[in-house]
């Protein structure tokens, strides 16, 4: 199962890591001398993964531009996206087809658009546009996804944090914040294999989040289900059905779900999805039709033809798993071997998603990233998993092993382990 790391241990005793300072400095000098140029910064699919969807480039094929319902995909219209493709992903996301929109290649665009529309016009249940409020605040579980935080920062939305747990955001901490603060309009959640710690929202946590009283009547949960089908084991974790739970709790408009094929087919030419209550879908579509005359239906048709059905997506993701799982195993195995007895770090063992989260000795994450950079290993900046890029304990590092070849992942992780040990030894000796 995925585990969320406990706080990193205090620096090891003088008799172990500290006494090895000179040895670690020599090992680090040897690492620098290798002239490496390795990158573990972002969760991009590898070229090998992208090759899995190469047949998409030949679809739909000359003369094959009609979808299963007879729609000419070359023309305007079809604002909600092709029903043929929506039916496939409605099954995978466990939502009604008529409550699911299929759009362009990036779910991040849909999230951004949702918030901008809320700021300009308000959402169902709003008394006024969010921008007319004195302050708009979002709750951000940490460690979390830097692009969520960047959207808030760009749009002037204040961010407050709650801890992540193995079962998702600390629901009681969220409930305490939203109960009395009407400025809190949103909560970011990655429900399945969360970025970066791989946590999965339990049904109990989901029930609490969709049913808790909120001071803002137009509070929304931004349910970014980016990794719903991105399993690293044969056990396929199923997301809590937050939209259904919210309706049962009497808050049908509370949850807005997003997903995409960005890490399923082509990262730069996929399809994104928006799902929510009928009222939220109608609201979003009302504004969408002003800025769009329909999505890229030819691309949606090629995806529908390529996958055929939901089982086709599952079979395709099994091929992704065969490529990714050895890389994630290499990360965990090397951390276990190099750091397991050192008492200087803890790390997750994800069952899916794209990241491994490492907590190092407090106050040393920035130093680890700096050491790695100077040795030719690029890591995500320390603090990226916190709002405004500020990790208050300077301890969390997000590792993204998907893009490099397996052997490069091994080389990079051995180097990262050396950097973690050296930074801990430096801190203990200072």
In a domain, 58, yes or no: no
pLDDT of res. 18 = 72
Cβ-contact 351, 339 below 8 angstroms: no
pLDDT of res. 371 = 98
In our burial notation (b when 16+ CB lie closer than 10 A, e otherwise), range 351-380 reads: bbbbbbbbbbbbbbbbbbbebbeebbbbbb
Q: Are 156 and 213 contained in the same domain?
A: yes
Q: Are 219 and 236 contained in the same domain?
A: yes
Residue among 347, 343, 303 at smallest CA distance from 328? 347
Instruction: Provide φ and ψ at 39, rounded to 5°.
Output: -135, 115
Q: Which residue has the tokens 């290798």?
A: 34
Q: Are 226 and 284 contained in the same domain?
A: yes
**The two three-digit tokens of residue 269, written as one number:** 């030419």
In a domain, 102, yes or no: yes
The kind and range of the H/E element at 138 are strand 137-142
> Is the pLDDT assigned to residue 19 strictly greater than 90?
no
Alpha-carbon gap, residue 370 to 374, rounded angstroms: 6
Q: Are 192 and 320 contained in the same domain?
A: no
pLDDT confidence band for 120 (50 / 70 / 90): very high
Alpha-carbon gap, residue 108 to 394, rounded angstroms: 27
pLDDT confidence band for 157 (50 / 70 / 90): very high
Q: Are 270 and 400 contained in the same domain?
A: no
Instruction: Provide φ and ψ at 144, rounded to 5°.
Output: -145, -165
Classify burial at 294, counting beta carbons within 10 Å of its beta carbon; exposed 0-12, middle 13-18, buried 19 or more: middle
Cβ-contact 80, 273 below 8 angstroms: no
Instruction: Supply the CATH number for residue 245's domain.
Output: 3.40.640.10
Q: Are 265 and 399 contained in the same domain?
A: no
pLDDT confidence band for 42 (50 / 70 / 90): confident
Of 284, 309, 334, the domain-final residue:
309
Answer left, alpha or beta for residue 35, where phi above 0 means left and psi between -120 and 50 means alpha: left
> Is the pLDDT assigned to residue 2 strictly greater than 50?
no
In a domain, 9, yes or no: no
Report yes or no on whether pTM surpasses 0.75: yes
Q: Are 222 and 245 contained in the same domain?
A: yes
pLDDT of res. 218 = 98
Classify burial at 236, counting beta carbons within 10 Å of its beta carbon; exposed 0-12, middle 13-18, buried 19 or more: middle
pLDDT of res. 12 = 45
Q: Are 31 and 71 contained in the same domain?
A: no
Calculate the average pLDDT of the chain.
95
Q: Are 296 and 342 contained in the same domain?
A: no
> Is the pLDDT assigned to residue 10 strictly greater than 80?
no
3 state DSSP class of 192: coil
pLDDT of res. 375 = 98
Rounded mean pLDDT, 77-102: 98
Rounded mean pLDDT, 290-315: 98
> Is the pLDDT assigned to residue 9 strictly greater than 50?
no
> Is the pLDDT assigned to residue 192 strictly greater than 60?
yes
Of 282, 309, 336, the domain-final residue:
309
User: Is the bond preceding residue 196 a cis peptide, omega within 30 degrees?
Assistant: yes
pLDDT of res. 6 = 45
Of 291, 309, 327, the domain-final residue:
309
Cβ-contact 114, 283 below 8 angstroms: no
Give the whole-number percent of the chain exceeding pLDDT 90.
Answer: 94
pLDDT of res. 5 = 42
> Is the pLDDT assigned to residue 393 strictly greater than 80?
yes
Q: Are 221 and 287 contained in the same domain?
A: yes
Q: Are 105 and 176 contained in the same domain?
A: yes
pLDDT of res. 17 = 72
> Is the pLDDT assigned to residue 206 strictly greater than 70?
yes
pLDDT confidence band for 13 (50 / 70 / 90): very low
In a domain, 95, yes or no: yes
Instruction: Supply the CATH number for residue 392's domain.
Output: 3.90.1150.10
Cβ-contact 99, 276 below 8 angstroms: yes
In a domain, 107, yes or no: yes
Alpha-carbon gap, residue 391 to 413, rounded angstroms: 22
Q: Are 31 and 129 contained in the same domain?
A: no
Question: Which residues is 188 bridged to in the sheet?
Answer: 222
In a domain, 187, yes or no: yes
pLDDT of res. 11 = 41
Cβ-contact 422, 24 below 8 angstroms: yes
Range list of H helices, 216-296: 242-248, 278-291
In terms of residue numbers, what domain contains 323?
Answer: 18-50+314-429
Residue among 354, 334, 355, 353 at smallest CA distance from 345? 334
3 state DSSP class of 102: strand
Task: Specify the number of domains making up the chain.
Answer: 2
> How many CB atoms are closer than 10 A to CB 15?
8
In a domain, 57, yes or no: no
> Is the pLDDT assigned to residue 303 strictly greater than 70?
yes
């Amino acid at each position: 199962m995925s585990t969320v790391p406990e706080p990193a241990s205090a620096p090891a005793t003088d008799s172990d890591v500290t006494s090895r300072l000179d040895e670690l400095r020599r090992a680090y000098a040897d690492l620098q001398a290798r002239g490496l140029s390795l990158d573990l910064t972002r969760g991009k699919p590898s070229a090998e993964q992208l090759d899995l969807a190469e047949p998409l480039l030949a679809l739909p094929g000359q003369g094959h531009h009609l979808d299963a319902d007879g729609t000419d995909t070359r023309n305007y219209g079809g604002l909600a996206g092709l029903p043929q493709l929506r039916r496939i992903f409605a099954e995978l996301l466990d939502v009604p087809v008529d409550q699911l929109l299929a759009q362009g290649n990036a779910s991040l665009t849909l999230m951004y658009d949702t918030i901008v529309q809320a700021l300009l016009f308000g959402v169902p249940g709003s008394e006024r546009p969010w921008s007319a409020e004195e302050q708009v605040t979002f709750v951000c579980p940490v460690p979390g996804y830097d692009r969520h935080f960047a959207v808030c920062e760009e749009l002037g939305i204040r961010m407050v944090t709650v801890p992540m747990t193995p079962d998702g955001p600390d629901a009681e901490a969220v409930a305490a914040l939203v109960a009395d603060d009407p400025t809190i309009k949103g909560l970011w959640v990655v429900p399945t294999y969360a970025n970066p710690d791989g946590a999965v929202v339990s049904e109990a946590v989901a029930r609490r989040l969709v049913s808790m009283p909120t001071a803002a009547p137009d509070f929304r949960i931004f349910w970014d289900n980016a990794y719903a089908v991105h399993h690293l084991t044969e056990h396929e974790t199923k997301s809590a059905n937050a939209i259904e739970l919210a309706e049962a709790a009497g808050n049908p408009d509370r949850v807005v779900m997003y997903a995409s094929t960005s890490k399923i087919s082509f990262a730069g030419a996929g399809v994104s999805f928006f799902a929510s209550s009928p009222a939220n879908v109608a609201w979003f579509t009302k504004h969408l039709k002003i800025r769009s005359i329909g999505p890229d239906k030819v691309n949606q048709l090629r995806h529908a033809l390529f996958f055929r059905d939901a089982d086709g997506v599952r079979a395709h993701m099994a091929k992704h798993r065969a490529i990714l799982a050895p890389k994630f195993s290499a990360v965990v195995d090397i951390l276990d071997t190099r750091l397991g007895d050192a008492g200087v770090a803890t790390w997750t063992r994800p069952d899916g998603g794209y990241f491994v989260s490492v907590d190092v000795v407090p106050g040393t994450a920035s130093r680890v990233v700096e050491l790695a950079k100077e040795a030719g290993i690029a890591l995500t900046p320390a603090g990226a998993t916190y709002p405004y890029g500020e990790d208050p304990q300077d301890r969390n590092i997000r590792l993204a092993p998907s893009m490099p070849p397996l052997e490069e992942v091994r080389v990079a992780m051995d180097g990262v382990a050396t950097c973690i040990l050296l930074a801990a030894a430096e801190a203990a000796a200072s």
